[in-house]
Amino acid sequence: MRREVEILNPLCLHPRPAAECGRAVHKFASEITIRKGEEHFSAHSILEVLSANLDCGSRFTIEAIGADAKEALDRLEQLLFEFKEQEKDWQG
């Protein structure tokens, strides 16, 4: 199962949200991969997530394979929205 998403927060996917994504991913049994162009990154590794260079406006695909794939994709998409809202609150 795949879902195309976009980074909407101006500060991009920096270490704090990347770590939150990693913690969320580990709650699911599915194998979760970030696909950006021809490159693939394991969503289970904060270092790989950071090396994907997911800047504001970046569009990429999250792929989940496993019994809880839909739930995993839903949660990650929700997190990306939450990061945008959190940064709005911080910026006042």
Write out the catalytic residue numbers. 14
Query: 43: closest CA among 77, 10, 9, 82?
Result: 77
Token output for 36: 């950006």
DSSP output for 7-46: --STT-S-HHHHHHHHHHHTTSSSEEEEEETTEEEETT-H
Position of tokens 């969320």?
24
